C-alpha cells in the first residue's frame, strides 16, 4: 500500500463533518475536529441559487448535497455560505470558533435580500422562519428571554433605526461610525454577529466613509465585506 498517497485521503475522511441526530431538528451536520474563524469546513458543487429553501424541511426529504442541504438553522449560527464562482461550488466557512462535536449551523435569515431593522427582533424572525421554512425556531437566541439580551437587542435596534440616520442627517460621520462600531460590538455580545446582521452595518459604514469621511480606501474595505 502506498501510504504517501492514501494518508491525505484518510485524513480528509476523518476530518469531514458527520451527519447525526440533532437536538434542533432531525439530522444535523457535526464537526469532527476544531475549526478556527474563517476556516473552510467543506465545499460542494451546487447551484448558485441554492439556499436553505430547498433543504430537508420544505423539499422532498432528499438533500441536494451531502452537507449544505442538511445544515440546521440557528439565529446564533457558527458558519456561513461562501460562493466560489470559479468552481461553481459553495463553501461552508466558520464565523466563530467551532469545537469538535459541535453542530455546524447557519442562519437561514442570511438569504434575506434586504435585511430590515425588525430582523433583530425575535418575534419577526420566528414569523419569517415559520412562513418561509415551515418550522418554529428553538435556537438559543429564540429561547433566551434574559433581560440582558433584550436590552442589548433594544440598543441595537435603537442605534440602527435612529442614531446612525440622525448622525448622517446632521452631517456628523465620525459619530455615525462610532455608533456603527457600537452596533457590531453589541451583535458580538449577543452572539448575533452573523452576515445577515452585519451586512447592513457594513453597508452604512461603506457609505459613510465614501461620502462623509471621504476615505475611499476604507469605503472599499467595508464594501468588500458585503460579498
User: pLDDT by residue (tens digit) across 64-76?
Assistant: 667 887 888 888 8
Kindly state whether residue 126 falls inside one of the protein's structural domains: no
Return the C-alpha cell found at 135.
418550522
Same domain, 166 and 90: no
Name the domain boundary from 66, 88, 111.
Answer: 111
Supply the pLDDT for residue 193.
83
Residue closest to 31 by CA, chosen among 46, 42, 23 = 42
DSSP, collapsed to helix, strand or coil, labels residue 149 as: helix
Q: What is the spatial distance between Cα 76 and Cα 219, in angstroms, rounded to a whole number?
A: 28
Kindly state whether residue 93 falls inside one of the protein's structural domains: yes
| Averaged pLDDT, 48-63 | 42
Q: Alpha helices, DSSP H only, in the chain?
A: 3-15, 122-133, 140-143, 147-158, 164-169, 173-189, 195-207, 216-224
Q: What is the spatial distance between Cα 136 and Cα 2, in angstroms, rounded to a whole number?
A: 51
Same domain, 153 and 99: no
Residue closest to 72 by CA, chosen among 148, 4, 142, 139 = 139
Same domain, 156 and 209: yes
- Residue 186's domain spans which residues? 145-224
Kindly state whether residue 138 falls inside one of the protein's structural domains: no
Kindly state whether residue 116 falls inside one of the protein's structural domains: no
Same domain, 170 and 218: yes
Kindly state whether residue 140 falls inside one of the protein's structural domains: no
Supply the pLDDT for residue 85.
76
For position 46, which CATH number holds? 2.170.270.10
Does residue 1 have a pLDDT over 80? no
Does residue 43 have a pLDDT over 70? yes
Total domain count, the chain: 2
Same domain, 99 and 188: no
Kindly state whether residue 124 falls inside one of the protein's structural domains: no
Kindly state whether residue 71 falls inside one of the protein's structural domains: yes
| Averaged pLDDT, 42-70 | 57
Amino acid at each position: 500500500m502506498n501510504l504517501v498517497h492514501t494518508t491525505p485521503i484518510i485524513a480528509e475522511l476523518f476530518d469531514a463533518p458527520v451527519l447525526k441526530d440533532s437536538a434542533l431538528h432531525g439530522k444535523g451536520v457535526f464537526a469532527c475536529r476544531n475549526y478556527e474563524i474563517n476556516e473552510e469546513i467543506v465545499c460542494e458543487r451546487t447551484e448558485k441559487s441554492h439556499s436553505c429553501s430547498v433543504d430537508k424541511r420544505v423539499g422532498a426529504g432528499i438533500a441536494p448535497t451531502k452537507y449544505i442541504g442538511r445544515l440546521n438553522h440557528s439565529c446564533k449560527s457558527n458558519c456561513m455560505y461562501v460562493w466560489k464562482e470559479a468552481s461553481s461550488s459553495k463553501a461552508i466557512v466558520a464565523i466563530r470558533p467551532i469545537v469538535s462535536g459541535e453542530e455546524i449551523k447557519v442562519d437561514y435569515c442570511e438569504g434575506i435580500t434586504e435585511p430590515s431593522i425588525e430582523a433583530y427582533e425575535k418575534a419577526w424572525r420566528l414569523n419569517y422562519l415559520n412562513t418561509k421554512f415551515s418550522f418554529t425556531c428553538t435556537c438559543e437566541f429564540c429561547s433566551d428571554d434574559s433581560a440582558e439580551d433584550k436590552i442589548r437587542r433594544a440598543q441595537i435596534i435603537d442605534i440602527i433605526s435612529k442614531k446612525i440616520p440622525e448622525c448622517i442627517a446632521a452631517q456628523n460621520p465620525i459619530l455615525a461610525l462610532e455608533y456603527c462600531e457600537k452596533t457590531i460590538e453589541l451583535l458580538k455580545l449577543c452572539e448575533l454577529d452573523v452576515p445577515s446582521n452585519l451586512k447592513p452595518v457594513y453597508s452604512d459604514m461603506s457609505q459613510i466613509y465614501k461620502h462623509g469621511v471621504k476615505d475611499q480606501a476604507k469605503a472599499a474595505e467595508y464594501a468588500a465585506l458585503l460579498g
